[in-house]
Amino acid sequence: MGLFECQFDPKGFEVTPEILDNYNKLGYVVIRGLFDSEDLENIKKVVEGSDALVKHAYTRGTISDHPATLALWNQPGNDVTGMVARCEKVVGISEKLLGGEVYHYHSKLIMKNANTGGKHIWHQDYGYWYQYGCLKPDMLTMFIAYDKCTKENGCLEILVGSHQYGRVDHLMISGQQGADPKRVGHIAKHTESQFVELNPGDALFFHCNVLHQSQPNTSPNRRWALISAYNRASNSPVIESAHPQYTPLEKVPDSCVKECKNYTDMSGKAFFKPTSNNLFQPINTK
């Protein structure tokens, strides 16, 4: 079975009942061409044209010399990457898939450079968001390919429909939080694995209980991705933790991704600053 995918149409795109049914059944949808080359050119001016964003990058995990490098921010902000996270198409699709108002939970830039690391072990995003006080799995992740994502450069691999098995216990494995490998082994016998190969500007929306992993980038081709996570407004965390409680999201027209000229002012993004003991730990679990 191939990937479940549809093509974005800037003149009018709708999350149809067919898309919603498949999302609920498979746990994901790939939307090709959600961002076009002009959008990507403008995003590039922030991501590569200045160090304002990438200077916040850090490395996480000790998976046998294949650590993951990323920058993470809790509020979208007003630069071009903020427009990506706040634009009507992204927020609208997320609201349709989650069935109600959403807010920005966090975003990140995952940087898998050529011939480097970036291994992510099998996990569910809700594996740790649960620990952050989100009571329901009313959350999703949007993964946008900034570079072409292929099997060779460590694209995402998902277990299709694995969200239907519910949340799996997560354990600390070599510096990363991973889903209990025995449980994953059982689920893998009942689900199909799919490599999610994407072209720049394509987006994968996936349910927070979908099991996913990715291999290190052993290829000569860089694989960077922009990721934004959304939570239902009604599912605000019941404790203070690493990511924000309900904060109304100020939507912007899709055209702002092309038109925004803010490439350097990152004020208000609330970048995550790692310390030796806050990686994946709730800040306050009272």
Ligand X SMILES: O=C(O)CCC(=O)C(=O)O
Applying CB under 6 A, which residues contact ligand X? 110, 118, 120, 125, 154, 156, 212, 214, 225
Closest contact distance (angstroms) between CB of 115 and ligand X is 15
Q: Is 4 helix (H, G, I), strand (E, B) or coil?
A: coil
> How far is residue 190 from each of residues 39, 107, 122, 159, 161, measured CA to CA in Å?
39, 31, 16, 9, 9
> How far is residue 84 from each of residues 56, 168, 197, measured CA to CA in Å?
19, 31, 21
Closest contact distance (angstroms) between CB of 9 and ligand X is 27
Residue in the shown chain whose Cβ atom is closest to ligand X: 214
Nearer to ligand X, 13 or 280 (CB): 280
Nearer to ligand X, 128 or 263 (CB): 128
Nearer to ligand X, 110 or 140 (CB): 110
Nearer to ligand X, 110 or 260 (CB): 110
Closest contact distance (angstroms) between CB of 213 and ligand X is 7
Closest contact distance (angstroms) between CB of 220 and ligand X is 17
61-66, Cβ contacts within 8 angstroms, sequence gap of 24 or more? 61/119, 61/120, 61/174, 61/175, 61/176, 62/174, 62/175, 63/117, 63/119, 63/121, 63/174, 63/175, 63/176, 64/119, 64/174, 65/117, 66/116, 66/117, 66/118, 66/119, 66/216
12-18, Cβ contacts within 8 angstroms, sequence gap of 24 or more? 13/89, 13/93, 15/92, 15/93, 15/96, 15/97
Closest contact distance (angstroms) between CB of 286 and ligand X is 26
Nearer to ligand X, 144 or 260 (CB): 144
Nearer to ligand X, 13 or 205 (CB): 205
Nearer to ligand X, 15 or 168 (CB): 168
Closest contact distance (angstroms) between CB of 204 and ligand X is 10
Closest contact distance (angstroms) between CB of 225 and ligand X is 5
Number of C-beta neighbours around residue 41 at 10 A: 12
Q: How far apart are CA 281 and CA 286, in angstroms?
A: 13
